[in-house]
Structure 1
Amino acid sequence: MPHIIVEYTDNLRKEADIPNLLKELNSVLISRSDIFPTGGIRSRAFELKDYRIADGAENDAFVHTILKIGSGRSDLDKKGVCDELFEVIKGHFTDLFARRYLALSMELIEFIEAGTYKHNNIHKRFRNS
């Protein structure tokens, strides 16, 4: 953990540069390696083909980001990282937001350790650096 999941409507495909967004979001988490181990960071995006927004009358679009983390971070740390991630998301879509109807949102999901299972040898690479 942490995992970032980005859901976005397919009408953004050509202009959204989702791979770069994932890179930007990962960079935020990597910069906070004191609270999020780099080897646990995962990000992925899903293009949505079946959706309806509002009344369906316009070519509306949305991007919804979910940050999933294990428990144990302070409220201050959680707020800080969420604020920074959401600023990155808003910055990434500034031009599109100015040109079209677009909803941006983000949520935090915090798991208790008893509810997660992990088997990961990627951490070892970062411990040896």
Structure 2
Amino acid sequence: MPHFILEHSGNLTSESLNLDALFTRLIDEAVGTGIFPLAGIRCRAHNCEHFRIADGTDSFGFVHLHVRIGSGRTEEQKASAAKALFAVLTEHLSAIYESQGLAISFELSELPSHKFNQNNLRDYLTKL
């Protein structure tokens, strides 16, 4: 963990959002906190074709980032990580934010303790 789940309005393209660069920056920031292992990080984006924002102005857009993490971090660690990750998101989107109506939202939530996963990515990362 964490899993980064980004939703965005369909009037914002993957190219205009530069998702590869955003995901790289988010991963770097998450690893840099010292509380998230690289092998547990997943990023994905969902383009919402059907949306309406405020009064329906066509150029209005939104980006929502939901960060889901496993349990075991302190409130201080979660707060610090959330602020740092939101800062990456807003800085990355600043050019779009300055050029059109844009709603940026963020949430960090902790998964319940009874979740299950299995991965062998750590084994493969050590081989690189």
Same fold (TM over 0.5): yes
What letter is aligned with 1:122?
L
Q: Which residue of 2 aligns with 1:23?
A: 24
Which residue number in structure 2 is paired with residue 88 of structure 1? 88
8 Å CA contact 1:37, 1:123 repeated in 2: no
Gaps of 5+ in 2: none
Report what 2:62 is aligned to: 62
Provide the rounded CA distance (Å) in 1 between the counterparts of 2:125 and 2:59: 44
Per-residue CA deviation, residues 58-110 of structure 1 (Å, 9 max, x unaligned), is 42100000000011101111011110111011100111111100010101111
Give secondary structure in 1 for the equivalent of 2:51. Answer: coil
* 1:50-129 equivalences in 2 (<5 Å): 50-114=50-114, 116-126=115-125
* SS class of match (1:120): coil
Q: For residue 73 of structure 2, give the secondary structure of its aligned residue in structure 1.
A: coil
**Cα pair 1:70 1:111 within 8 Å, conserved:** yes
1:35 Cα deviation after fit: 1.4
SS of aligned partner of 1:86: helix
Q: Between Structure 1 and Structure 2, how many residues are aligned? A: 127
Instruction: Give the % identical residues.
Output: 34
Structure 1 residue ranges without an equivalent (≥5): none
Tell me the distance in 2 between the aligned counterparts of 1:92 and 1:65: 13
Q: Secondary structure at the match of 2:52?
A: coil
Q: 1:10 corresponds to which residue?
A: 10
Structure 1 residue identity aligned to 2:86: F
- Structure 1 residue 123 displacement after superposition: 2.4
After TM superposition, the runs of 4+ consecutive aligned structure 1 residues lying more than 2 A away are 123-129
